A and B are shown apart, each in its own frame.
Chain A
Amino acid sequence: AQSVAQPEDQVNVAEGNPLTVKCTYSVSGNPYLFWYVQYPNRGLQFLLKYITGDNLVKGSYGFEAEFNKSQTSFHLKKPSALVSDSALYFCAVRYYKLSFGAGTTVTVRA
């Protein structure tokens, strides 16, 4: 079975500070990992994905994620957070369907 876990329900950071949203995965075989962001009353927007290759993946809006096979993690990062980054973030693993984590609410305070 493919699954991901997001250990933090909420992350709070000050604007300009680094932002990290954690995700760990459990898969058989090669993991295909994704990060999505959801703004209130909106659908999910794709941020980035890891398929193969470099462990550091760069995505939309200045986000990046680091794939760590030994720790089975795929943490989302942004060097300098913006208030507009406040949203709900989902990590997901894909076989054909996506299996999502429970989500992490990010609040960036001005």
Chain B
Amino acid sequence: DTGVSQDPRHKITKRGQNVTFRCDPISEHNRLYWYRQTLGQGPEFLTYFQNEAQLEKSRLLSDRFSAERPKGSFSTLEIQRTEQGDSAMYLCASSIQGRKGEQFFGPGTRLTVL
């Protein structure tokens, strides 16, 4: 399978715990994006990378959130001291550089904070 993959698919954690999600983009894609989707809403942009550089972070990304893409390949999204409001689907997407290319999405990681 050469699509975008995410791990884990589901994560249940207790409030206050740290969690980390992984995204593996399509291999030739140099851009990688993170979105968050809550029930009944469209995905909201969190951050994106071009190669290993993080070029923008949404104000939705509080200081408890950090994302990395150390070698320009896979990316991790970490949430520290999770809160119940962090419960959502976290989607990763990748694309080639440029506005015209469509973004290909992974299956998402569903986070539930108890």
Contact = CB atoms under 8 A, between A and B. Distances in A.
Interface of A: 32, 34, 36, 41-46, 49, 51, 90, 92, 94-103
B42 A100 contact: yes
23 contacts: A32-B100, A34-B102, A43-B4, A43-B105, A45-B105, A46-B104, A46-B105, A90-B42, A90-B43, A95-B99, A96-B31, A96-B48, A96-B55, A96-B56, A97-B45, A97-B56, A98-B35, A98-B45, A99-B45, A100-B42, A100-B44, A101-B42, A103-B40
B25 interface: no
Contact count band on B: 20 to 34
A63 to B, nearest CB: 14
Contacts of A49: 100, 102
A99 B104 CA distance: 14
A41 B55 CA distance: 29
B22 interface: no
A92 B33 CA distance: 15
Interface of B: 4, 6, 31, 33, 35, 40-45, 48, 55-56, 91, 93, 99-100, 102-108, 110
B12 to A, nearest CB: 15
A94 B99 contact: yes
Contacts of B103: 46, 94, 98
What are the 7 A-B residue pairs with the smallest beta carbon separation, nearest first?
A: A100-B42, A43-B105, A97-B45, A44-B105, A43-B107, A46-B102, A51-B100
A97 B33 contact: yes
Max chain A C-beta neighbours (<10 A), residue from B6, B45, B100, B105: B105
Contacts of B4: 43
B106 to A, nearest CB: 5
Contacts of B48: 96-97
A79 B99 CA distance: 29
Contacts of B45: 97-99
